[in-house]
Amino acid sequence: MPVGKMTSTILKTLGKKPSTRRYPSVKRTTFTGARGKIVIDLPGCIYCGICMRRCPADAIVTSIKEKTWSMDHFKCVNCKSCVELCPKKCLYMELEQATPSLKRTGQEPSLKNA
């Protein structure tokens, strides 16, 4: 009966470095086209509200009257549909994901054109 089939794998990996990273200090390189965090180039925005209506997580709130665009990054599910639907192409996605936070900031940051 074969016992210790795992031994050869264990011996092989003993001399190697760990497969894991020490995360906050060593970060993984991102892939091109990865879905990270939504960023808006506000001067380009016309507040049409398409991103708000089509967001599956209801994370975006826009107001054409007050000329504001705000997004709750904790609600965002990184589907990238707003980036694809934006008629002015002023939304884009960073490769790095949003960092964790100690506070749930809700609807902030609300952005307003001067």
Partner 1 sequence: MGKQTIIPFGPQHPVLPEPIHLDLVCEDEKVVDVIPKIGFVHRGLEKLIEKKEFLDFVHIADRVCGICSFIHGMTYCLAIEGVMNIEVPPRAQYLRVIWSEFSRIHSHLLWLGLTADAFGFEALFMNSWRIREHILDIIEETTGGRVIFGACKVGGVRRDISADKLKDVLNELKDIEAQMHECADVFLKDSSVKSRLKGVGILSKEDAYKLGAVGPMLRASGVPYDVRMSGYAAYKELNFIPVVENTCDSYGRCVVRIRELFESCRLIRDAVAKIPDGPLESKVVGFPKGEYFARAEQPRGEVVYYVKADGTKFLKRFRVRTPTFANLPPLLKILVGCQLADVPILVLTIDPCISCAER
Q: Which residues bind partner 1 (CB under 8 A)?
A: 1-6, 8-10, 19, 31, 33-35, 54, 56, 77-81, 84
- Closer residue to partner 1 (CB): 30 or 105: 30
Sign, CA torsion 74/80/83/86? negative
CA separation for the pair 15, 79 (Å, rounded): 41
Q: How far is the CB of 100 from partner 1 (least distance, A)?
A: 16
- Closer residue to partner 1 (CB): 46 or 77: 77
- Residue 79 burial class via C-beta count within 10 angstroms: exposed 0-12, middle 13-18, buried 19 and up: middle
- Residue 59 burial class via C-beta count within 10 angstroms: exposed 0-12, middle 13-18, buried 19 and up: buried
Q: How far is the CB of 37 from partner 1 (least distance, A)?
A: 13
Q: How far is the CB of 51 from partner 1 (least distance, A)?
A: 11
- Closer residue to partner 1 (CB): 79 or 111: 79
